[in-house]
Chains A and B, each alone.
Chain A
Amino acid sequence: AQSVAQPEDQVNVAEGNPLTVKCTYSVSGNPYLFWYVQYPNRGLQFLLKYITGDNLVKGSYGFEAEFNKSQTSFHLKKPSALVSDSALYFCAVRDDRGSTLGRLYFGRGTQLTVWP
């Protein structure tokens, strides 16, 4: 079965500092990985995805993620955090097998707080 783990419930970082939100995954086949962000009282918004190719994926709002197959990780990163980046972040892995084709499995989420 596919699964995603986000080991940190909360990440706190000062504005201007780099940030990392961690994600590890478990899949039977090829990994298709996604990051979503949720702002208060809103639905999830897509940030970036890894399907194949370069291990460093660039996405919206200056975020990027590094895919590491040997460590089965897909950590979200940003070189310089903004207060407006404060939100709940979800990592997700896509199931590409048979009858559950297209299903996304989400991690529990990591609350990112960037203080001024």
Chain B
Amino acid sequence: EAQVTQNPRYLITVTGKKLTVTCSQNMNHEYMSWYRQDPGLGLRQIYYSMNVEVTDKGDVPEGYKVSRKEKRNFPLILESPSPNQTSLYFCASSLTARSSYNSPLHFGNGTRLTVT
């Protein structure tokens, strides 16, 4: 089954403790992206990747890192999490950035992160 898989689904951590949220897709997609969803703010893009070893900042990149060493994986790293990073996070992918004309984003089921 074609899908985007995020892990974990739920995560509670403390301020300053490094964490990684994994994202993997099995559709051979080139384009991958991370969003955070907050009430009243909709979805805001954190980082995106056009292909392997190509990443760029979205609208709210502060406090986050990403890497794209393999096509299928796009982990989100919080080196020193803070309470304002408590949010619902989504990973998404599409075949290529250009093909999102005809190939919409496929989303994972989300990771709910709480930082205390």
User: Could you tell me which A residues sit within 8 Å of B by CB distance?
Assistant: 9, 32, 34, 36, 41-46, 49, 51, 90, 94, 99, 101-104, 106-109
Which residue of chain B has the shortest Cβ distance to A96 in the bound complex? B101
Between B35, B40, B94, B101, the greatest number of chain A beta carbons within 10 A of the residue's beta carbon is seen for: B101
The listed residue (B40, B94, B102, B106) touching A108 by CB distance below 8 A is B40
Chain A positions within 8 Å of B66 at CB level: none
Determine how close the nearest CB of chain A comes to the CB of B95; give it in whole angstroms: 10
Q: Assess A102 versus B58: contact at CB under 8 Å? Given A44-B90, A107-B42, A108-B41.
A: no
Determine how close the nearest CB of chain B comes to the CB of A57; give it in whole angstroms: 13
**Interface residue? B45 (CB, 8 A):** yes
Query: A99–B96 Cα gap in the complex (Å)?
Result: 14
Chain B positions within 8 Å of A42 at CB level: 109-110
Which residue of chain A has the shortest Cβ distance to B56 in the bound complex? A99
Contact across chains for A46 and B101 when beta carbons are under 8 A apart: no
The listed residue (A36, A41, A102) touching B100 by CB distance below 8 A is A102
Contact across chains for B94 and A102 when beta carbons are under 8 A apart: yes
The listed residue (A9, A45, A101, A109) touching B98 by CB distance below 8 A is A101
Contact across chains for A103 and B101 when beta carbons are under 8 A apart: no
Contact across chains for B97 and A102 when beta carbons are under 8 A apart: yes
Determine how close the nearest CB of chain B comes to the CB of A23; give it in whole angstroms: 12
Q: Assess A104 versus B100: contact at CB under 8 Å? Given A43-B90, A44-B107.
A: yes
Query: A109–B41 Cα gap in the complex (Å)?
Result: 8
Q: Assess A103 versus B45: contact at CB under 8 Å? Given A44-B90, A51-B102.
A: yes
Chain A positions within 8 Å of B108 at CB level: 43
Contact across chains for A108 and B101 when beta carbons are under 8 A apart: no
Contact across chains for B107 and A106 when beta carbons are under 8 A apart: no
Chain A positions within 8 Å of B109 at CB level: 41-43
Chain B positions within 8 Å of A36 at CB level: 104, 107
**Interface residue? B74 (CB, 8 A):** no
Determine how close the nearest CB of chain A comes to the CB of B92; give it in whole angstroms: 8
Which residue of chain B has the shortest Cβ distance to A32 in the bound complex? B101
Chain B positions within 8 Å of A9 at CB level: 40
